[in-house]
Amino acid sequence: MPQTPTTIRFAGGAQGFNWLPVFVAEEQGLFADNGLSIDYQRLGSVDKATTAVREGTADLAITPPEGAVADYLTGGALRIVGSNSERLPMSMVARPGIPDLAGLRGKRIGTSSLTEGTALYSRPLLGTVGLHYPGDYEFVLAGVHTARWAALERDEIDAAPQPAPWNFLAEREGYGLVGEIPDVIPEIIFAAVIGNQQWLDENRDAVSRLIAALSEAHAIVNDAANDTVTRRVYQGLTTPDDPELAARGLAYTRDLGMWPDGLRVSPTALATTIDVMIQAGLVEENDRERATGVFDPSFTTHAA
């Protein structure tokens, strides 16, 4: 008699393009093959996804890692158990009339959070032209990438870091791509799989099966021979009515090496995450080494 699948409540902000391996795993039956049923929680912001895991209303989340790092350093129970993505396929998109990064002085930059994700990536990019926060520009909490695009169209913000393929969509609509975030941050934990230490300890087998399923999905996504599967899922997550734009975004993102084999966290990506937090004043320099303890490598050590 078949066993009842283990349900995992899986949270995220937008659950968009960087969740591609998750939805490939779902479509290909990899979760079911590993005895899992996924309860998807789309919460609308990265902060809310982190909070849901902290408060126990979600079991795991794919979300920027900064909230887990900060929680760990204050004695909290959040841990990183894997890396969903380690590249930033993002351009700084500016409204027409702003010719370059320097033109963003005094302007409004859309972000999803002040302490996680896009705000932290924008600061070093703008720093390359001598613009610093606060003082030289303003951050506006405009939401995840789809909400930021809407805010750009309504002129509520002047610029925003936008991932592929929304950066290419903006360029087609006459907006400028005035800077490339991977040029200044080539490797970083863009989105981590995070969990609460007690829940992880109590559900170690289920988490290991989840990592195994996602590892197989990462391998599928990283092989262009599987594009008949992957591109369809990616298009549904990004630009459902525009296959050409979806194909361009998928190729660009994969060529960057976004999805790490086995969800392994590279030392460089983790170090960069901590360094960016130090630069933003969210972590003290003398906590740099201690902050690496947020990562529990035991779940990915034997991942396929």
May I ask the CATH architecture of the domain 6-87+189-299? 3-Layer(aba) Sandwich (3.40)
pLDDT digits (tens, 9 = 90+) for 5-42: 999 999 998 888 899 999 999 999 999 999 999 999 99
Q: Where are the domains of the chain?
A: 6-87+189-299, 90-184
- For the chain, what percent of residues have pLDDT higher than 70? 98
Least confident of 110-124, 200-214, 259-273: 110-124
Average pLDDT rounded to a whole number, residues 175-185: 96
Same topology, domains 6-87+189-299 and 90-184? Answer is yes
Q: Residue 9 is which amino acid? A: R
Beta bridge partners of 99: none
| C-alpha distances out from residue 268 to 25, 84, 188, 220, Å | 27, 15, 7, 24
pLDDT digits (tens, 9 = 90+) for 50-63: 999 999 999 999 99
List CB contacts of 150: < 8 A, sequence separation 6 or more: none
Average pLDDT over the chain, rounded to an integer? 94
Q: Domain spanning 90-184 has what CATH number?
A: 3.40.190.10
Backbone φ/ψ region at 89: left (φ over 0), alpha (ψ -120 to 50), beta: beta
Using DSSP bridges, classify how beta strands 176-180 and 108-111 pair: parallel, antiparallel or unpaired: unpaired
Q: Band of the pLDDT at 302, cuts 50, 70, 90?
A: low
Q: Band of the pLDDT at 1, cuts 50, 70, 90?
A: very low
